[in-house]
Amino acid sequence: MLITDNVYSINATRGSYVFALRLPDGVTLIDTSFPGRADRIAAELTANGLDDVVRILVTHHDVDHVGNATKLQKRFGCNVFISATDMPYAQGATPRHGVKRLIGGLMRAGRTTRYTALPEGEIDGVKIIPTPGHTPGHTCYLFNRVLFAGDLLNSKGGALRPSQPLMTWNKQAVDESIAALAGLEFDVVCPAHGEPVKTSRVG
């Protein structure tokens, strides 16, 4: 689904969206969705001429965001970036927090991915925005006036709301990260869970 110029959501990943950005050097994906969706993601990318994937930018270490990272990396030969803080959780070297420890033990997807730590600033015009709270190293991205919010925010009925406390590492940090987004300029917010919302403000 086309969201705006050069920004697409992958329909096969409803429930935990993957987004595709058409950049000068190829396609960048935001997140990889639940395990078991790699073939459907790749097929949809190919059908829409978006299969020249050069990198994946992960918002955070949760299984529904790194679930297909290994298979997509092998298929496209691309780099997979994640914050240095969240990398050991994604690799299984550091146990996840709370109920996520159990989920991570049952679903080990993403552990064999060859991750690269996110740099500061931006990658090929995609702004990298550290937004700790949902996880210690949660990251949002901004491209073409579209904010990719990961699990910092989700949407329901066209309204944005913070991530669920049960699944959140630090609620105060979530609130601080949401407040910090006020300094950014955007027209659309794309959370992983829920549909994109046309808005220029959050919180």
Tens of pLDDT, residue by residue, the chain (203 residues):
899 999 999 999 999 999 999 999 999 999 999 999 999 999 999 999 999 999 999 999 999 999 999 999 999 999 999 999 999 999 988 887 765 555 554 455 678 999 999 999 999 999 999 999 999 999 999 999 999 999 999 999 999 999 888 889 999 999 999 999 999 999 999 999 999 999 999 97
> What pLDDT is attached to residue 48?
96
> What pLDDT is attached to residue 159?
95
> What pLDDT is attached to residue 100?
56
Q: Which domains does the chain have, with CATH numbers?
A: 2-198 (3.60.15.10)
At position 65, the amino acid (one-letter code) is H
> What pLDDT is attached to residue 102?
53
> What pLDDT is attached to residue 106?
44
28 and 126 in contact (C-beta within 8 Å)? yes
> What pLDDT is attached to residue 203?
72
> What pLDDT is attached to residue 166?
82
Can you give the three-state secondary structure of the chain, one letter per residue? CEEECCEEECHHHCCCCCEEEEECCEEEEECCCCCCCHHHHHHHHHHCCCCCEEEEECCCCCHHHHCCHHHHHHHHCCEEEECCCCHHHHCCCCCCCCHHHHHHHHCCCCCCCCEEECCCCEECCEEEEECCCCCCCCEEEEECCEEEEECCEEEECCEEEECCHHHCCCHHHHHHHHHHHHHCCCCEEEECCCCCEECCCCC
CB atoms within 10 A of CB 88: 16
